[in-house]
């Protein structure tokens, strides 16, 4: 996951490959609560690992459930409908799928068994309405105190109190289906007699209720449904663990890759595994909307395949009541259409993690789009003249993921622009590895992938600075010096004659080299310490003299130019390898400063050293590097000079980021 302030997406050009979806958020949190309310152990497999499930799991632990991991399963040792903790404060973040059902379950359990429970969340959760659910529970006889604004969390749920089970429980259905889901999950706990739930107004998001009913049946509760207007929980209902539950992939998350296939999968489809024709989730019907816009879709029991059909996409008008979350993706796909796209019946967008209608309209306009909006609808016009935009995500995972599709603007305009996603880590709510997964199935022109080069003399701190800048931007890192050391090491291990340039060069394409967190991996082996050894440095010097080796490593260095960008350090990164780099920096420090740094490094490792000798060695090496015939050490003409003799690493990184920002169009 990219835990950085922003992530820059360069123009993307194509897509192909296979995506395995994380578990469904809606199913995951429902299953966790059902398992907690049941008696016995439930093995939950393929559970979504995200912020929303994390707060649910922590709450279940607080309430006395046994929660542990066993192999690939999360095991829940349920309460059997009996409270083990009678006083607890639960923090539920911005997870509506945890806040609403836990509120209902704890309210009825406190009423029948006594107790006091406080439920709260992040500030945005305290702006998300829960009043209709609270009114229904109070009508049943539950004691609920508003701890903030009436109708919103935080709340205190307390008891005991008498419940009026002989009259219907009435709840509005036109604000959020989660209110009805919460009652359906909670009321089997007190079903001494038939309990009737009546829905006031039109029930939105019916497919989510279907998920709830299907899962209730898995746990032994057969709810009787009278259309979508009333639901009856039979007397004597009792939760029974099925023993094992598999969580299917998240259909809402599938929408981004369905949209990706419709936009950019020209020759080979995007295959999406984890949802398909047998999915419980209504959002799988997003494929119908994508097909209406021109996508070619194939389905199997647990997979989808999507590729571009009509191009440009077709503008549509669609009632999105049945796919409220996934429909957000359509508003970005609309930018690639041949006419306006109008999405209606989406009032629920306004009470989600943010006001999603306002958020989507605002951010789409930043790209240059013409957007109209109403209380429960949005209309998006196709976009031809794109603007580079910095997309505010409102701490809303779906906003971040939707707008990643805007990076394909180069498919409809000759003036392709990058897109910046602010706070990309908000995707942790449902899909922590979303951007890594995206980068695994998309392509870009090499010239569009940004590169930052850091050249300079030995011991100037290039490697450390490159690692830190790479972390700050989410970019990959290339330590070019390590390439020569790895080549020498690999050649020696293979028993090659290091004086045989062609033989040594032949091993370069087989190197499985990776840089991560300041470490160097050759295959699965961490060779960082080995590469720093003096003997390995001598091997590097032997192989570096061969033109064949330098040519082979030249191509390998170019191959490190991968999404979303690269920070490359060395002697000639900005002059010979990446002359088109977006930002070039020549890092220097006085010989005295560099000698002192190297001295401290060696002493810390228990290696004896002499500062005077180190300085003389560095000055001699500087002279050799400056006067070598191939790629002499010198700043690129357009390089920024950075003398870090008196700078901390933090100050050097800050200066690099300032220079980087001046080169971005945002």
Q: Is 325 a catalytic residue?
A: yes
30 is in an annotated binding site: yes
Quote helix, strand, coil % in the chain, to nearest 5.
40, 20, 35
176 is in an annotated binding site: yes
128 is in an annotated binding site: yes
45 is in an annotated binding site: no
**Nearest to 645, CA basis, from 600, 573, 610, 597:** 597
| Length of the chain (residues) | 666
| Element at 570 (helix H, strand E) | strand 566-570
356 is in an annotated binding site: yes
26 is in an annotated binding site: yes
**DSSP secondary structure string, 435-504?**
HHHHHTTEE--GGGS-EEEEE-STTSSHHHHHHHHHHHHT-EEEEHHHHHHHHHHHHHHTT--TT-HHHH
Q: Mapping DSSP to helix (H, G, I), strand (E, B) and coil, where does residue 28 land?
A: helix
Q: Return contacts of 435-438, CB within 8 angstroms, 24+ apart.
A: 435/1, 435/2, 435/7, 435/404, 435/474, 435/564, 436/1, 436/2, 437/19, 438/256, 438/260, 438/404
532 is in an annotated binding site: no
59 is in an annotated binding site: no
Spell out the residues 6+ positions from residue 503 whose beta carbon is closer than 8 angstroms to its own: 491, 496, 497
Q: Mapping DSSP to helix (H, G, I), strand (E, B) and coil, where does residue 74 land?
A: strand
Q: Mapping DSSP to helix (H, G, I), strand (E, B) and coil, where does residue 414 land?
A: coil
* CA distances, 15 to each of 142, 258, 267 (Å): 53, 11, 9
Question: Rounded distance, CA 544 to CA 538, Å?
Answer: 10
Question: Rounded distance, CA 274 to CA 528, Å?
Answer: 38
645 is in an annotated binding site: no
643 is in an annotated binding site: no
506 is in an annotated binding site: no
141 is in an annotated binding site: no
314 is in an annotated binding site: no
420 is in an annotated binding site: no
613 is in an annotated binding site: no
Q: Are 435 and 7 in contact (CB under 8 A)?
A: yes
598 is in an annotated binding site: no
Cβ count within 10 A of residue 433: 14
617 is in an annotated binding site: no
| Element at 547 (helix H, strand E) | helix 547-559
584 is in an annotated binding site: no
205 is in an annotated binding site: yes
459 is in an annotated binding site: yes
Question: Rounded distance, CA 110 to CA 135, Å?
Answer: 16
* CA distances, 85 to each of 110, 119, 167, 303 (Å): 10, 14, 29, 42
**Nearest to 246, CA basis, from 416, 43, 448, 30:** 43
Region at 415 (left for phi over 0; alpha for psi -120 to 50; beta for the rest): beta
| Angle between helical axes of 131-140 and 177-186 (0-180°, round to 10) | 30
| Element at 112 (helix H, strand E) | helix 96-113
Set 52, 132, 283, 325: catalytic member = 325
Question: Rounded distance, CA 365 to CA 389, Å?
Answer: 9
Q: Are 233 and 266 in contact (CB under 8 A)?
A: no
429 is in an annotated binding site: yes
Provide the annotated active-site residues: 325
Mark the binding-site residues for phosphoenolpyruvate, compressed into ranges.
25, 96, 128, 178, 356, 398, 429
Mark the binding-site residues for ATP, compressed into ranges.
456-464
Mark the binding-site residues, compressed into ranges.
25-26, 30, 96, 128, 176-178, 205, 325, 352, 356, 398, 429, 456-464
Mark the binding-site residues for 3-phosphoshikimate, compressed into ranges.
25-26, 30, 176-178, 205, 325, 352
């Amino acid at each position: 996951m990219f835990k950085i302030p922003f992530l820059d997406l360069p123009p993307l050009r194509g897509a192909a490959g296979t995506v395995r979806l994380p578990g469904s958020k809606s199913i995951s949190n429902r299953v966790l609560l059902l398992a907690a309310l049941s008696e016995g152990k439930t093995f939950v497999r393929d559970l979504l690992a995200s912020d929303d499930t994390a707060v649910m799991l922590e709450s279940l632990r607080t309430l006395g459930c046994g929660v542990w991991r066993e192999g690939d399963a999360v095991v829940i040792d349920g309460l059997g409908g009996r409270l083990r903790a009678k006083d607890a404060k639960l923090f539920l973040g911005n997870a509506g799928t945890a806040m609403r059902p836990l509120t209902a379950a704890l309210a009825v359990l406190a009423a029948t068994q006594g107790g006091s429970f406080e439920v709260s969340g992040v500030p945005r959760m305290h702006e998300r309405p829960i009043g209709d659910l609270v009114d229904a529970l109070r009508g049943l006889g539950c004691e609920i105190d508003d701890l903030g604004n009436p109708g919103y969390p935080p709340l205190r749920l307390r008891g005991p109190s008498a419940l009026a089970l002989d009259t219907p429980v009435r709840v509005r259905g036109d604000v959020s289906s989660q209110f009805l889901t919460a009652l359906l999950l909670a009321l089997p706990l007190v079903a001494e007699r038939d309990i009737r739930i009546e829905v006031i107004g039109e029930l939105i998001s019916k497919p989510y209720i279907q998920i709830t009913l299907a899962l209730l049946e898995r746990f032994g509760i057969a709810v009787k449904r009278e259309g979508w207007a009333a639901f009856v929980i039979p007397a004597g209902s009792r939760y029974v663990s099925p023993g094992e539950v598999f969580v299917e992939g998240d259909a809402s998350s599938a929408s981004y890759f369905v949209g990706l296939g419709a936009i950019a999968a020209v020759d080979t489809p995007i295959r999406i595994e984890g949802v398909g024709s047998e999915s419980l989730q209504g959002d799988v019907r997003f494929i119908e909307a994508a097909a209406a816009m021109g996508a070619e879709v194939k389905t199997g029991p647990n997979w989808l395949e999507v590729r571009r059909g009509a191009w440009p996409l077709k503008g549509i008008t669609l009632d999105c009541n049945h796919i409220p979350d996934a429909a957000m993706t359509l508003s970005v796909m609309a930018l690639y259409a041949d006419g306006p796209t109008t999405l209606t019946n989406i009032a629920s967008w306004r009470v989600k993690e943010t006001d999603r209608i306002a958020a989507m309209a605002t951010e789409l306009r930043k790209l240059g789009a013409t957007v109209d909006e109403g209380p429960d609808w949005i209309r998006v016009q196709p976009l031809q003249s794109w603007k580079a935009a910095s997309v505010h995500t409102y701490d809303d995972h779906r906003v971040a993921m939707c707008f990643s599709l805007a990076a394909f603007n180069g498919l409809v305009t000759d003036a392709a622009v990058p897109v910046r996603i602010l706070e990309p880590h908000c995707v942790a709510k449902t899909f922590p590895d979303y951007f890594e997964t995206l980068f695994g199935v998309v392509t870009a022109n090499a010239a569009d992938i940004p590169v930052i080069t850091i050249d300079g003399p030995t011991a100037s701190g290039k490697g450390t600075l490159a690692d830190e800048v790479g972390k700050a931007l989410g970019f990959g890192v290339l330590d070019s010096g390590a390439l020569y050391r790895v080549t020498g090491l690999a050649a020696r291990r293979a028993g090659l004659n290091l004086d045989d340039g062609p033989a040594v060069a032949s091993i370069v394409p087989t190197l499985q080299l990776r840089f991560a967190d300041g470490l160097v991996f050759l295959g699965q082996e961490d060779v960082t310490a080995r590469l720093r050894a003096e003997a390995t440095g001598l091997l590097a010097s032997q192989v570096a003299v061969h033109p064949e080796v330098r040519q082979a490593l030249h191509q390998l260095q170019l191959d490190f130019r991968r999404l979303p960008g690269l920070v490359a350090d060395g002697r000639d990164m900005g002059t010979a390898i990446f002359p088109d780099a977006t930002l070039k920096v020549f890092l220097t420090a006085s010989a005295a400063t560099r000698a002192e740094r190297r001295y401290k490094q060696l002493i810390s490792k228990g290696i004896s050293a002499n500062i005077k000798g180190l300085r003389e060695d560095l000055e001699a090496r500087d002279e050799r590097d400056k006067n070598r015939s191939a790629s002499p050490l010198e700043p690129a003409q357009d390089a920024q000079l950075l003398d870090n003799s008196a700078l901390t690493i933090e100050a050097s990184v800050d200066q690099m980021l300032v220079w980087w920002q001046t080169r971005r169009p945002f």
